[in-house]
Amino acid sequence: CMLVSEHGSSHDETLQSRMRSLTRLLLAKEHGGAGLESLRFAGAATSDMSLVAKGIAEIHWEIGLHAWDIAAASVIVTESGGAVFDGAGWWGLDMAEGEREPRPLNIWNRSIVSVRYIPDLPGQPGSGRELQRQLAKELLTHVEDIPCTPDGLH
pLDDT digits (tens, 9 = 90+) for 105-134: 988 888 999 999 999 999 999 999 999 999
| Average pLDDT of the chain to the nearest whole number | 90
Partners of 121 in beta bridges: 124
Give tens-digit pLDDT for 16-44.
888 999 999 999 999 999 999 999 998 89
> What is this structure's pTM?
0.89
